[in-house]
């Protein structure tokens, strides 16, 4: 793998950090503009490098062993994830302004956009540092910053509900995700003591104990079925733009595991069948559980997130093509779910309702929001969006690793049912919220363009990425990145 300097990448990752600090001393308009504009460089940078198939390491310096050399990695995998996170951070920062104006009024607080955008931007940039980091200690630092920033956002500005305060919910979120982070750190330390480095470029083998600890930690943070109990509280009770943003926090667990897999795949290969079965069973159960959560629109979306994380885990289990499918589905899910959470945010801001049993017929009153929701569910379901390619590559990975026979039919049937189930509950939810007869009285309102234009950007981006040349460049760069890393090992 080529190693050379890249001041543009370093600057692109530093700009949002600088913007966050400056935003903490400014008012609403300046802090919002800084937060949005600061993610533009990394969007442009990632798209350019996807197009040219960039594939190299950027040295930042060395630390005493067992930390070792600290690199950033610029390849198709990091740029695909980086583009998705940066675009979501930019668009959701725009939606944040009208939403948080409403939220501050409800909380009876003076507008605190300087604090909000400081934490929001820190959360966004910490995820980008995770994506581009190629040393485990740098990844861990990014994980912790994203955790602390998102915890403070729910602690200060989240929702009380179901007999719990936002402070209690924030602590629940912090404890679960911090346990996940600590398990990852302990696994990284075990690996460092074995390999005498945390530099992923120098590591050729991850011992079983280290693999197991990091895998369990990331399964909690993903979250997979079982440890998922924290996510509906966090997603449901976060300020809605933050809920849209931290979808990337949970999905990045799959990215970290994919990076580890490319270096030392034996552990996932040895446990491929149990992992795949766990992903499918968990995905089906949580997908079916979506129907139970009509009492709270955001909780319904949160359970959908858990179900969709099963796709990423299944992709991890089925080899090289599965990693491609994982990446494409991450992008589709992040775009679609960010759109859907902010449709929930618009409904809250204009009608103060979260219970689906009180909705229905909203397409008549806020048609621009309903159209955005349609794009969101299309993105999740793989209907004319990049998720279609994600599903294809996960199936291709399944054929490549297990073959197609009566013995493997359960896996194909399970994955197919998961995909169909997503589309079914998605359009069921769309009908329940936006179509049919209103279940309470509403008035038509003029929706602030900042609530909908960013959502159309995300929804249309998911459509554009399905078609060449966007899809061909993206997939080629991901496959090149996978081949380079596995070839080096």
d(CA 233, CA 20): 27
pLDDT at 355 over 80: yes
The closest of 92, 64, 98, 79 to 13, measured between CA atoms, is 79
Q: Is residue 235 very low, low, confident or very high in pLDDT (cuts 50, 70, 90)?
A: confident
The average confidence (pLDDT) of the chain is 93
DSSP 384: S
> Tokens 């309702």 — which residue?
353
Taking only the tens place, the pLDDT of each residue in 90-99 is 999 999 999 9
Question: How does pLDDT run across 272-298, given as a tens digit for each residue?
Answer: 999 999 999 999 999 998 888 888 999
| Whole-prediction pTM | 0.95
Q: Which tokens go with 37? A: 């504009």
Task: Yes or no: say if 69 and 201 are a contact pair by the CB < 8 Å rule.
Answer: yes
Instruction: Count the neighbouring beta carbons within 10 Å of the beta carbon of residue 356.
Output: 19
Q: What does the pLDDT average to over 140-148?
A: 94
Of 148, 134, 107, 164, the C-alpha closest to 246 is: 148
Instruction: Quickly state the pLDDT bin for 61 (edges 50, 70, 90).
Output: very high
Residue 488 predicted with pLDDT over 80? no
Pick from 8-17, 78-87, 403-412, 451-460: least confident: 403-412
DSSP state of 111: -
List beta partners, residue 135: 199
pLDDT above 90 (res 246): no
Q: Is 480:53 a contact under the CB 8 Å cutoff? A: yes
**Does residue 222 have a pLDDT over 90?**
no
Q: What is the model's pLDDT at position 489?
A: 61
Cα separation, 182 vs 213, in Å, equals: 9
pLDDT of residue 28 exceeding 90: no
| Nearest CA among 154, 318, 337 for reference residue 244 | 337
State the DSSP H helix or E strand holding residue 123, giving kind and residue range, or none if neither.
helix 113-132
CA distances from 307 to 15, 176, 422 (A): 34, 19, 8
- b/e code 256-274 from CB counts within 10 Å (16+ = b): bbbbbbbbbbebbeeebee
Q: By CB neighbour count within 10 A (0-12 exposed, 13-18 middle, 19+ buried), where does 482 fall?
A: buried
Angle between the N-to-C axes of helices 367-381 and 319-351, in degrees from 0 to 180, rounded to the nearest 10: 160
Instruction: Give the 3-state secondary structure of residue 128.
Output: helix
Residue 285 to residue 168: CA distance in whole angstroms: 27
User: Who contacts 211 (Cβ-Cβ below 8 Å, separation ≥6)?
Assistant: 187, 260, 264, 267
**In the chain, count of helices (H) and strands (E)?**
19, 3
Assess contact for 318 and 240: CB atoms under 8 A: no
pLDDT > 90: percent of the chain = 85
Position 405 confidence tier, pLDDT thresholds 50, 70, 90: confident
Alpha-carbon distance of 74 to 269, in angstroms, equals 26
pLDDT in tens, 102-118: 999 999 999 999 999 99
Going by DSSP bridges, is the β-strand pair 2-3/68-74 parallel, antiparallel, or unpaired? Answer: unpaired
The total number of residues written for the chain in this structure: 489
Dist CA 23 CA 18 (whole Å): 9
Q: What is the DSSP letter of 238?
A: S
Integer Cα distance of 307 and 429 in angstroms? 15
Residue that is written with structure tokens 């911090």 in the block: 178
């Amino acid at each position: 793998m080529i190693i050379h300097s890249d001041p543009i990448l370093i600057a692109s990752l530093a700009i949002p950090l600088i913007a966050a600090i400056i935003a903490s001393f400014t008012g609403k308009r300046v802090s919002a503009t800084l937060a949005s504009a600061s993610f533009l460089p990394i969007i442009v940078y990632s798209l350019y490098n996807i197009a040219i198939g960039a594939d190299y390491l950027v040295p930042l310096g060395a630390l005493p062993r067992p930390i070792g050399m600290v690199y950033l990695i610029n390849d198709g995998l990091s740029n695909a994830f980086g583009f998705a996170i940066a675009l979501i951070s930019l668009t959701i920062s725009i939606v944040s302004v009208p939403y948080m104006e409403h939220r501050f009024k409800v909380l009876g607080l003076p507008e605190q956009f300087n604090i909000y955008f400081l934490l929001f931007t820190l959360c966004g940039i910490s995820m980008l540092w995770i994506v581009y980091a190629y040393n485990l200690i740098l990844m861990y630092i990014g994980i912790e910053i994203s955790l602390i920033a998102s915890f403070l956002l729910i602690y200060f500005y989240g929702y009380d509900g179901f007999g719990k305060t936002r402070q209690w919910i924030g602590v629940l979120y912090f404890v679960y995700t911090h346990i996940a982070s600590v398990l990852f750190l302990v696994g990284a330390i075990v690996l460092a003591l074995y390999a005498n480095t945390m530099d992923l470029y120098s590591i050729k083998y991850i011992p079983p104990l280290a693999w197991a600890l990091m895998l369990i930690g990331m399964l909690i943070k993903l979250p997979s079925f079982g440890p998922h109990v924290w996510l509906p509280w966090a997603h449901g009770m976060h300020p809605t733009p933050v809920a849209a943003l931290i979808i990337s926090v949970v999905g990045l667990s799959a990215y970290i595991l994919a990076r580890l897999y490319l270096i030392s795949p034996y552990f996932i290969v040895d446990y491929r069948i149990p992992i795949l079965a766990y992903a499918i069973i968990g995905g089906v159960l949580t997908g079916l559980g979506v129907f139970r959560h009509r009492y709270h629109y955001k909780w319904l979306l949160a359970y959908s997130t858990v179900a969709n994380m099963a796709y990423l885990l299944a992709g991890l289990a089925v080899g090289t093509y599965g990693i491609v499918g994982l990446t494409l589905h991450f992008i589709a899910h992040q775009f679609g779910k960010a759109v859907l959470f902010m449709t929930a945010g618009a409904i809250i801001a204009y009608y103060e309702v979260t219970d689906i049993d009180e909705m229905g017929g909203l397409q008549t009153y806020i048609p621009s929001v309903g159209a955005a929701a349609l794009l969101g569910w299309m993105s999740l379901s793989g209907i004319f969006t990049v998720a279609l390619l994600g599903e294809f590559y996960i199936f291709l990975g399944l054929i490549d690793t297990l073959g197609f026979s009566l013995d493997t039919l359960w896996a194909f049937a399970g994955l197919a049912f998961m995909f169909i189930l997503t589309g079914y509950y998605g359009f069921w939810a769309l009908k329940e919220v936006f179509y049919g007869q209103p279940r309470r009285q509403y008035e038509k309102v003029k929706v602030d363009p900042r609530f909908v234009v960013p959502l159309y950007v995300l929804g249309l981006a998911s459509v554009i990425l399905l078609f060449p040349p966007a899809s061909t460049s993206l997939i080629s760069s991901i496959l090149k990145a996978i081949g380079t890393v596995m070839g080096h090992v």
